Amino acid sequence: MKIYKSCKTLSIFRFYEILDTKDYKYLIEDYENTEITKELQLQLDDIWSELFKEYIVLKDDKQIRTSFKKLSYISKLETKLSICSSLLSGLVEQTTKEGQLKYIKELSAWGYPINLNKELQDEVNRIIRNFKTLKSTITIKRNEYNKEYKKELTQEKIDIDEQVVNVEQALNNQIDSNNTTVSKWIYYVKKASIIAKKQRV
């Protein structure tokens, strides 16, 4: 099974399909004959995250970089809340001191230490209050993000064919979106933009 893991191998057509559908199956060369298991889906999530970071660097677009950083920060907070909530539930369900210590150690590593000299239930209640504060922070940050990037979030579907035609006209060159890699496409767009600016002067 071949998986595209870089902007130097993934075609711009597949890249835009992923952006439009949020379906990472397009990272797999023969996705139509591949069963997407839970493990494979997690692998594709990680690959897409790294690939999109590479795209941002190649694009060198400050707005995209800022947007991605903010979204990554929100995702980290959501992951922390999800994992720590599960850990706290696991701690409450433990009946042995040894089992409790295992969860206490994990919670401490995530920034939620428990004072063993105090009543466990009091410490659990304190952490639950901290979770509520974290949840409020996540809501505020996500609302701020959605407001700031609302235009991006509500954009119409990207028409790759229309973009290809525009770049072809600027460069006077034929482009096959199925066989043009993301990195090569970015250079084409940059070159087309330079030509367009020169023509306007």
User: 3-class SS at 11?
Assistant: strand
- pLDDT of 153 reads 45
The residue assigned the tokens 């239930």 is: 121
The pTM of the whole model exceeds 0.85: no
| 148 three-class SS | helix
- How far is it, in rounded angstroms, from Cα 56 to Cα 157? 20
Place of tokens 């959605």: 146
**What pLDDT does 201 receive?**
57
- Write out residues in the chain with pLDDT < 70, as ranges: 61, 64, 149-158, 200-201
CA-CA-CA-CA torsion for 121, 124, 125, 128, nearest 10 degrees? -160
As to burial, measured by CB atoms within 10 angstroms (0-12 exposed, 13-18 middle, 19+ buried), residue 70 is middle
Collapsed DSSP state (helix, strand, coil) of residue 181: strand
CB 71 within 8 A of CB 49: no
Q: Tell me, what's the pLDDT at 76?
A: 87
pLDDT of residue 156: 45
Question: What own/partner pairs with CB < 8 Å and gap ≥ 24 does 89-93 have?
Answer: 91/124, 92/124
Query: Which tokens is 22 given?
Result: 């949020």
